[in-house]
């Protein structure tokens, strides 16, 4: 897992044909990049600020993206699954040239691939999309990483202003299935304090790795 601040350089590798590159861009990537946090604004967060949440507590607020025309949940879902899938099918090199840690989606890799090509949303799969909860957005990102869950699998990644979390497995609890940003009738989108803590944890982990590497090089 690596963390990065904004740069004009990108993590790239050729794994898709031109037709698939265009498909990924048209169905998700172009819209998400244009509406995530940028120095000239954060359109998705601005859209949420214009409506009342369906519910909220001191940790999380949730909204119906289906009732917010400015938010294209289909693009957010497609983009997020395309990133998780690409992180699973090959190893990537970061900007430093080092091999980056990937993820393994197991049998869900193929069902997600079929979804990206126009198939049904994968079974036993939940996607949760959260928006940075404060106006003071940290312009940070980290690549897909695996988390921990009792009986199912969880992965997440961050781009400036947006966190994407993927759950897979037959034992995903019903309440989490009902929260899915794709499958729920309201197509929930969240504003969660956990985005702050997870990003902080990612930075701490990175700094520990850098420190350990420097110790080994001495």
The average confidence (pLDDT) of the chain is 85
Per-residue pLDDT band for 186 (boundaries 50, 70, 90) equals: very high
- CB 159 within 8 Å of CB 36: yes
Kindly list the distances between the CA atom of residue 117 and the CA atoms of 27, 37, 107, 114, 178, in Å, as whole numbers in the listed order: 11, 28, 16, 5, 25
From 6-10, 64-68, 123-127, the region with the lowest mean pLDDT: 6-10
The string of pLDDT tens digits covering residues 29-53 is: 999 999 999 999 999 999 999 999 9
Kindly list the distances between the CA atom of residue 116 and the CA atoms of 54, 86, 90, in Å, as whole numbers in the listed order: 30, 11, 17
Go through 106-126 and write b for each residue having 16 or more CB atoms within 10 A of its CB, e for each that does not: eebbebbbebbeeeebbebbb
**What's the confidence (pLDDT) of residue 211?**
59
Judged against a pLDDT cut of 50, whether residue 28 lies above it is answered with yes
**What's the confidence (pLDDT) of residue 142?**
87
Question: Could you tell me the pTM of the whole model?
Answer: 0.83
Per-residue pLDDT band for 96 (boundaries 50, 70, 90) equals: very low
């Amino acid at each position: 897992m690596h963390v990065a601040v904004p740069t004009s350089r990108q993590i790239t590798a050729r794994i898709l044909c031109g037709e698939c590159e265009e498909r990924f861009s048209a169905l998700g990537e172009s819209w998400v990049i244009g509406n995530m946090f940028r120095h000239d604004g954060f359109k998705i967060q601005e859209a949420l600020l214009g409506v009342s949440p369906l519910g909220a507590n001191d940790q999380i607020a949730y909204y119906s993206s289906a009732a917010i025309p400015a938010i294209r949940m289909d693009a957010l879902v497609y983009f997020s699954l395309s990133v998780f899938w690409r992180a699973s099918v090959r190893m990537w090199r970061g900007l430093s040239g080092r091999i980056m840690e990937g993820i393994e989606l197991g049998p869900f890799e193929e069902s997600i691939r079929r979804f990206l090509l126009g198939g049904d949303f994968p079974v036993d799969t939940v996607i949760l999309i959260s928006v940075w909860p404060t106006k003071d957005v940290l312009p940070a990102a980290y690549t897909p990483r695996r988390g921990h869950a009792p009986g199912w699998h969880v992965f997440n990644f961050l781009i400036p202003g947006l966190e994407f979390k993927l759950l897979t497995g037959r034992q995903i609890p019903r309440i989490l299935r009902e929260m899915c940003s794709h499958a729920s009738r309201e197509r929930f989108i969240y504003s969660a304090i956990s985005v702050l803590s997870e990003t902080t944890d990612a930075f701490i982990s990175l700094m520990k790795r850098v420190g350990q590497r420097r110790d080994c090089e001495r």
